[in-house]
Amino acid sequence: MLVRTFSLAISIFFLTTTNSYAYLDMGTGSYIIQAILAGFFATLFFIKIYWFKFSNFISKIFGKSKED
Amino acid sequence: MESLDSSFRDPSGYIFNLDGIFYRAVHISYKDNLDLLENTGLYSHLLSKEQILSYDAQETSKFNVNNDYYKVILPDQLKHVSYPYEWCFSQYKDAALLTLDIQEASLKHGMSLKDASAFNIQFHNGKAVMIDTLSFEEYKEGDPWIAYRQFCQHFLAPLLLASFVDIRSLKLMNVYLDGIPLDYVVKQLSFMKLLKPMVFIHIYLHSKAQNKNASKVNSIKKNISKHSLLGLIGTLKSLINSLKWNPKGTEWGDYYSDTNYSDLSMDKKITILDSLLDELKPHTLWDIGGNNGEFTRLASNKGIECLLFDIDYAAIEKSFLKSKLENEKNITSFVMDFTNPSPGIGWNNKERLSIIDRGPAEVVLALALIHHLCISNNLPFHYVADFFARIVSKSLVIEFVPKNDSQVQRLLKTRDDIFINYNKEFFEAEFAKFFNIKKSIKVDNSERFLYLMQKRNS
């Protein structure tokens, strides 16, 4: 993970972003982080979902069920 | 209707006060979002979890608001206002997790938080609650979370500094009104802490990206999926959940086992206070320097709305956790040093109110406090009496701790005794300029006295 984040850190220095017109200034850097790491965060989200389903399945086999 | 001094940032609406009641005027530009908040079921979802302040729509014609305003709503009225720089660690953590829970629920209902200010969270009936109804906007597929930086500055940064560096870092929110700058946090954290993957991303990379790209406006456009935003929220939640603070070596940790009180005099003090509270029957009470709230709870258990203040993070942490565990609804705990109480800050020094402007309280308790103010902080009795007269509307219950008390002797151990006027007679004379002294009761088995004083002209 560190190698990945390090390479992302380097790529950040070569990216720019759009202006924001909301009442709150989002900050260019915040957009860049979300844009660059979008795939990474989505992957973590799916891992969490499937891990939950998997552990729930295992729990059911052994007679315990987690609530959603 | 004039808006409150704190209600100017968001053009979606403003708060005003009419006859002591706070209302919110909603601008026509926010109509679609407010409708969406209700129609998507998000509002009722958050309400069912007690995560948002409830509101009722009012007859707009009853109010003197201009035609650009679509609705006036009456929110459930807050009993007190506390600010992030007055919270203990667990209060802060609860506020942060609540904000993330709300953003997660918002995304699932097709909305998103357009701001994530720590000042939008208040402690109401003992629980953290979101007070800004106008913070929600329609989520558009592909958009980033616009309040991500604000969340990191307002919540993540103070919590990381409190957990990894020093609990007193929470007070930095008093200086940085829009949250602690991320580059500042980077400089405070050790190399090893910065290497934690999520700290590295949300703080280090975030900070560097900000600095390097702040002046560039060339455009790139990338869609950010909802799953990605939910993943982002998940990582922030995990990180904040993992943060801990264990009080060690703090001032008051074992105060009650290290005072000048025998069990008998402690019982006597409780009995005296109990009967004074029954006599006074106030609606509101402030306990100044109340440690972990042992005496405050004598009042809150009688249904009195209590604010507990103490300088010590450990004491307030204990009090808050007890309130949470026992579902106490009428005690709110504040970390505050009354030798330097929260001032008015922000624009015009009015955006966030001083603690004096948030008063007065009907009754103020100041137990075992006078020696800290007068001997540790060199305050003359006159100054102390003057201050209490400003924050009390009716009665002051104050304890006089004489010079021969072991607690005072301890304070004098390392300094010259320059306090020639620190005695009971002078104390009474100076306080009598602001208060009528109604009762003076000696606490058995100690040299201390409890006073009931009534504010003059009240």
Parse chain A into domains and list their residue ranges: 42-68
Task: Write down which residue in B209, B242, B275 finishes a domain.
Answer: B242
CB A60: neighbour CB atoms within 10 A?
11
Would B99 be classed as within a structural domain? Answer: yes
A19–B217 C-beta distance less than 8 A: yes
Listed in sequence order, the DSSP H helices in B189-332 are 191-194, 197-199, 206-213, 226-242, 263-280, 296-300, 313-325
Nearby residues of B418 by Cβ (< 8 Å), 6 or more positions away: none
B114–A26 C-beta distance less than 8 A: no
Q: How far is B210 from chain A (nearest CA, A)?
A: 4
B229–A34 C-beta distance less than 8 A: yes
Would B134 be classed as within a structural domain? Answer: yes
Beta-strand ranges (E) seen in B120-265 are: 121-124, 127-130, 136-138
Beta-strand ranges (E) seen in B118-200 are: 121-124, 127-130, 136-138
Which SS3 state, helix, strand or coil, does residue B146 take?
coil
CATH number at residue B421: 3.40.50.150
Verify that B189 and B273 share a domain, yes or no. Answer: no
Give how many domains chain B has, as a whole number.
2
- Residues from chain A that touch B197, judged by Cβ atoms under 8 A, are 1-2, 5
Omega cis (within 30) before B360: yes
Verify that B128 and B175 share a domain, yes or no. Answer: yes
pLDDT < 70 positions in chain B:
1, 211-221, 249-263, 458
Would B248 be classed as within a structural domain? Answer: no
Which of A16, A19, A42 is opposite residue B231, by nearest beta carbon? A42
Verify that B304 and B349 share a domain, yes or no. Answer: yes
Verify that B274 and B406 share a domain, yes or no. Answer: yes
A41–B219 C-beta distance less than 8 A: no
Would B403 be classed as within a structural domain? Answer: yes
A40–B231 C-beta distance less than 8 A: yes
Would B195 be classed as within a structural domain? Answer: yes
CB B63: neighbour CB atoms within 10 A?
14
Would B36 be classed as within a structural domain? Answer: no
Decide if pLDDT at A46 tops 60. Answer: yes
Which of A12, A35, A44 is opposite residue B231, by nearest beta carbon? A44
Which of A18, A22, A24 is opposite residue B219, by nearest beta carbon? A18
Interface probe, candidates A34, A37, A51, chain B, greatest B C-beta count within 10 A: A34
Which SS3 state, helix, strand or coil, does residue B25 take?
strand
Verify that B153 and B204 share a domain, yes or no. Answer: yes
Would B61 be classed as within a structural domain? Answer: no
Sequential DSSP letters for B369-398: -HHIIIIIS---HHHHHHHHHHHEEEEEEE
Backbone angles phi, psi at B217, to 5 degrees: -125, 10
Dump pLDDT digits (tens) for B279-310: 999 999 999 999 999 999 999 999 999 999 99
Verify that B161 and B269 share a domain, yes or no. Answer: no
Verify that B323 and B207 share a domain, yes or no. Answer: no
pTM for the complete prediction? 0.90
At residue A55, the pLDDT reads 86
Verify that B369 and B404 share a domain, yes or no. Answer: yes
Which of A13, A27, A45 is opposite residue B149, by nearest beta carbon? A27
Q: How far is B153 from chain A (nearest CA, A)?
A: 11
Verify that B114 and B216 share a domain, yes or no. Answer: yes
Q: Which residues pair with B74 in a beta bridge?
A: B56
Range(s) of the domain holding residue B421: 255-455
At residue B458, the pLDDT reads 54
Task: Write down which residue in B187, B212, B242 finishes a domain.
Answer: B242
Task: Write down which residue in B192, B213, B242 finishes a domain.
Answer: B242
Verify that B166 and B297 share a domain, yes or no. Answer: no
Interface probe, candidates A20, A31, A43, chain B, greatest B C-beta count within 10 A: A31
Verify that B197 and B310 share a domain, yes or no. Answer: no
Mean pLDDT of A15-34: 68
For residue B234, what is the nearest residue in chain A, using CA coordinates? A45
Query: Parallel, antiparallel, or unpaired: how do β-strands B449-455 and B435-442 relate?
Result: antiparallel
